[in-house]
Structure 1
Amino acid sequence: MSSLDNLIDQENRHLGGGPLGRRTKVVEAEPTRLRPALGEISQNQRRQPLRNTSNKPQGFSIYCDENAPSFSRPQPLLRKPEASTIDKENIPPKEKSLRQKVKTDVLREQSKAENVVQVQQTRTVQLLHSLPSRAAHLIQEHESMNTSVDLDSPMVVEETVTQLREQWRVPPIKDNHTVDIFTEPEYFQDIYMYLKESEYKQLPKFRYMEKQNDITHSMRSILVDWLVEVGEEYKLQTETLHLAVNYIDRFLSYMAVQRTKLQLVGAACMFIAAKYEEIYPPDVAEFVYITDDTYNKRQVLRMEHLVLKVLGFNLSVPTSFLFLNKMVEMVPVEEDEEEDKAKVGALAAFLAELALVDGETFLKYPPSQTAAACVALARHTISLDAWPQPLPERTGFTLEDLQECFVDLHRCFEKSKTAAQQAVAEKYRSSKYFGVSDLSPPSIF
């Protein structure tokens, strides 16, 4: 037999003895360990695999048996053995704690209270709306029964409800006319003094034209005269015109402008004043149109942005028109003098706009002083006392304080019919303003 015959399939032979007699000890194979039971999993009693015996640092063990090494992180607590026997699916719900019960009760009571209040308010509103009709119905029934209605009876509530509704209106109503709360005696004088103090904070520099290299006072007068026509075209308030001119002068006090951009400045300032004062201001396209498309919308809006930035958004300015209206109201008049009072107001407004056009002369005067001179000259023109007794005390100006401005205004009034700019005269020639621009100034010397 050859040596190859001695080779035996050693992989498949039994571990006991064999023909070669090399292994005589029978070694039984270790039985395969089955999957651990559910109880062992719930108790975290898995058997740890072989650990690395090298010197490398060990990572954190996710197993929690007794042989696991201890690290800085503490081991989680084991559950109690009896926890595995609890039927978790059929556990009855836990009762709420005392704090949660109290909180739930409080929220429930609050919601009930809110519902009650809402219902009461709804009933009250319905009752208020139905009171006049119910009262009228009851009164009609009493009249049909030929019985007299006592005025103190709770049935008569229509007049009381109407009075309460009138008391709730703001501003109040007297003699079917709305009352301006700013003209009431308790507020009027304090408001006037505040306006007089604040006017000096937003005055333009009256000599700013000396630093302008490309424009003159004549160009400014043409611009203001054009703005008067714009205000009449779009039926803007007179206060809007005064605000726009104030914005122009304050802007030119800090910025040098070319003559080709002066009309753009005027249009942007008028646009800002209209949005500040008017209820329905003209659109930016209207201001592009009135400049005969010399500028586009983008240029007007960019100039508006620049003007607001230079002015610091300080747009609430006391103007001469605001002061003269308050000064006209300061003088008490009789019922038969109401027309004269309205005529004084229209003539004073006409003189104030003439002063707006002539900036070279009147920029040095504050608006309150110009307004006082306009009222004094208007009263003197219609043969009234120029500066009666209540005005010196309430306005803080005497005739000596107004003398210089009064003379300049009288001179401007004389030149109004022959001046190059006639927009103001055309405006005040209408019957709405009593045609005051056709009046001739009286002699003051």
Structure 2
Amino acid sequence: MPIPPLALRGDVVTFSGNPFEQPPESCLVHVRDALVVARDGVLTHVAPYDARDVPADATVHIAPGLIGAGFIDAHVHYPQLGVTGSYGEQLLTWLERYVFPAEAAFADRAHADHVADAFLSQLIAAGTTTACVYCTVHPESVDAFFTHAEALGALMIAGKVLMDRNAPDALRDTAQGGYDESKALISRWHGRGRLRYAVTPRFAPTSTQAQLDMAGALLREHDGLYMQTHIAENTAEIDWVRSLFPDRRDYLDVYGHAGLIGPRSVLGHGIYLGTDELDRCHEAQCGVAHCPSSNLFLGSGTFDLFGAMRRPRPVRCGLGSDVGAGTSLSALRTLGDGYKVAQALGQRLHAVQGFWLATAGNARALHLDHRIGTVAVGMDADLCVLDPGATPLLALRTGGARDLTDVLFALMSLGDERCVRETYIAGRRVHEHRPAN
């Protein structure tokens, strides 16, 4: 069925530049009482409201809040939704105790379908319209995720995890088996509608050199693929990588040697990346996903976001919830933790920088800023409507706000999924939250 044109009226908040390189306020675009029109999933009009600009076949809908681009999540594990908030461990023991047992269940397609549906429902309820998603080692987990994402019409990036060692038997593939299963999934899903495939070695310790090399072969054999993995999240992990790959000069070189580092490579965490590794990230134009909630929860450390983005060779950084080590799919909650991490490092994350990071910045890190992340003519019509007065505390706080940046800061400090009044994917409303009176 054709999608009728969308006509939204309300205040638009978006961005015109990188607030880590320019004064933040100069990058903020605020269109008061705007008309936003989308047709066939693409924005065709964004300008101050004029009734003459309303399409004849559209009905104007008054947006119940601030209209912005849909949030983007650069690093998240949908199979870990059910172990979010699991007690007491750091990374490696947390994987063994909670994550690996949970992921073993995804060999069952019915279970994978159930969790994929729940995950995507909660994701869009949090205002997130695109995510870079880890599945499990089972092809069924990928088929389930992409089936439900396709039904939404969403731009999603995902892939089968590759693990051929240092994992339970039920979660191990082989170098050849992982290659063959990934190749079949790429053929089935990559480029189908708005879906994109990511070659997904979990992290270096769970893949042999042979598997990493075959992952690199997949990237060379297919155009437009992504690569996602973890790097330098935990000091014990780094020591483990050094012992497993003694011939490589550092953690990044493990992936680089296998041909896994390039413009669509997304590296999760990167807390302990060295200066030379950051230089090579800059040269490769790969993205690093900052996951502050997860890093705090697992006690992994504090990523120096400003140091990575403001260095002479800046790195493309994005923001990830990293559920299930992260404790919420809400970009607002993740930004709140990002502010606290920055404060702990003696830095201040400005509201404009935060919201840019969760939208346009993430789009840039994923090399998708020509399609998503801002509200402008020609961009995909993925939108999120935020209510600054969604809770009694927010209503009190924003009622006395000095300006728009103060409102945005209150949202990223005090907000959560309750602030998301509506979510639109490709111009179609897929979520609506009606607050109780």
TM-score over 0.5 (shorter chain): no
Scaled by the length of structure 2, what TM-score is found?
0.21
Q: Which has the higher helix share?
A: 1
Higher relative contact order (CA 8 A, sep 6+): 2
**Structure label with greater radius of gyration:** 1
What TM-score results when the alignment is normalised by the length of structure 1?
A: 0.21
